[in-house]
Amino acid sequence: MIEESNGHSIVIRVPVHKAKRMLNTEFSVFEHRSTREMVVRTTEYRLPRDVADHIDFIGGTTYFSTLHTMRRPGKTVQKNVKISPIQDHGRVSKVKIAHSKAKDSGVPTSCNSSQVTSICLRELYGTVDYKPQAPTKTHIGIAGFLGEVANYEDLNKFLKYQRPDAYRGKATFDYVTINGGTNNQSLDASTGEAALDVQTVVGVTWPVRTSFYSVGGSPPFKKDEFTPTNTNEPYLQLLEHLLQLEDHELPDVLTISYGDDEQTVPERYARHVCKLFAALGLRGVSVFDSSGDEGVGGSDESQCVTNDGQNKTTFLPEFPATCPYVTSVGAVKDFDPERVTTKKFSNIVSGGGFSNYFSRPSYQDEAVVNYLTMYQGTHYHGLYNPRGRGFPDVSAQGSRFVISVDGDFELISGTSASTPLFASVVTLLNDARIAQNKATLGFLNPLIYKRLGNSTAFNDVTLGSARGCGTYKGFEAAEGWDPVTGFGTPHFKKLLKEVIDL
Strands 401-405 and 408-413: antiparallel
Give CA–CA dist 125/120, Å, rounded. Answer: 9
Of 5, 3, 12, the residue nearest 58 (C-alpha): 12
Contact 45/23 with Cβ under 8 angstroms? yes
Tell me whether residue 104 is annotated as binding.
no
Q: Which residues pair with 290 in a beta bridge?
A: 329
Does 416 participate in catalysis according to the annotation?
Answer: yes
Is 461 annotated among the ligand-binding residues? Answer: yes
| Angstrom distance (rounded) from CA 198 to CA 316 | 28
Number of H helices, E strands in the chain: 13, 23
**Given 286, 416, 418, 424, which residue is catalytic?**
416
Q: What is the CA radius of gyration of the chain?
A: 22
Q: Please choose, from the candidates 294, 323, 334, 369, the residue with its C-alpha nearest in 3D space to the C-alpha of residue 462.
A: 334
Q: Is residue 460 part of an annotated ligand binding site?
A: yes
**Is residue 204 part of an annotated ligand binding site?**
no
Question: Residue 278 CA to chain centroid, in angstroms?
Answer: 16
The active-site residue, picked from 148, 193, 233, 293, is 193
Q: Tell me the three-class secondary structure of 190-246, residue by residue.
A: CCHHHHHHHHHHHHHHCCCEEEEEEECCCCCCCCCCCCCCCCCCCHHHHHHHHHCCC
Identified catalytic residue from 56, 148, 197, 262: 197
Phi, psi dihedrals of residue 12, rounded to the nearest 5°:
-125, 155
Contacts of residue 379, Cβ cutoff 8 Å, sequence gap at least 6: none
Q: Provide the annotated active-site residues.
A: 193, 197, 416
Binding-site members are 460-461, 480, 482
Binding-site members for Ca(2+) are 460-461, 480, 482
